[in-house]
């Protein structure tokens, strides 16, 4: 079983967000603050500012999980209580491969977990992320969803 933890919330657009998947191995992606502000502006211009956080979070998760399809079972830290079913649905819309190959659950990832520790290490620049998620990559994933198809970049 792999765990995923987030360091730096998506809605904190002045700070980078790190999503880290860990077990014996680990993988971390970073969504830079500037990238989050660019995506947030796209959602604002399209009259959907409330969708920014969940869609960006799910796109980041989709990138991370697709990079680790061999994980089998993943437990994602409960970052957004009550939104777990929506998050799982959105990840499935963003990546059919994930839906078919990975079992996703949600739980509380404690401060002693490797995912929590490593996400903090990357956020504090003690370790380098394995991947930097760009605005184009995230938007390409978001546009696979019904809501995302309605978004215009300009």
Q: Tell me the per-residue pLDDT of 47-63, one tens digit each, with 9 for 90 and over.
A: 999 999 999 999 999 99
What confidence score (pLDDT) does residue 134 get? 97
Q: Work out the average pLDDT over 118-140.
A: 96
103 neighbors 72 (Cβ within 8 angstroms) = yes
At residue 43, the 3 state secondary structure works out as helix
Reported pTM: 0.95
What mean pLDDT is reported for the chain?
93
φ, ψ at 59 (rounded to 5°): -65, -40
Count of C-beta atoms within a 10 Å radius of residue 113 = 19
Report CA dihedral (60, 65, 66, 67) to the nearest 10 degrees: 100
Q: Looking at the predicted structure, is the pLDDT value of residue 75 above 80?
A: yes
pLDDT-derived band at 123 (thresholds 50, 70, 90) equals: very high
How far is C-alpha 140 from the geometric centre of its chain's CA atoms?
Answer: 14
Count of C-beta atoms within a 10 Å radius of residue 17 = 25
Angle at 5 between CA 83 and CA 137, to 5 degrees: 80
């Amino acid at each position: 079983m792999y765990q995923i933890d987030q360091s730096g919330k998506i809605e904190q657009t002045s700070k980078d967000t790190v999503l880290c998947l860990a077990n014996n191995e680990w993988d971390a992606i970073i969504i830079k603050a500037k990238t989050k502000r660019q995506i947030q502006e796209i959602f604002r211009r399209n009259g959907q500012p409330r969708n920014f956080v969940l869609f960006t979070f799910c796109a980041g998760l989709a990138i991370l999980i697709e990079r680790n399809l061999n994980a089998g079972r993943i437990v994602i830290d409960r970052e957004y209580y009550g939104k777990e079913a929506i998050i799982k649905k959105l990840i499935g819309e963003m990546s059919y491969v994930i839906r078919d190959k990975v079992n996703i659950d949600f739980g509380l990832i404690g401060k002693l977990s490797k995912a929590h520790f490593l996400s903090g290490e990357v956020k504090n620049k003690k370790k380098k992320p394995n991947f930097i998620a760009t605005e184009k990559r995230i938007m390409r994933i978001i546009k696979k969803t019904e809501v995302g198809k309605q978004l215009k970049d300009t």
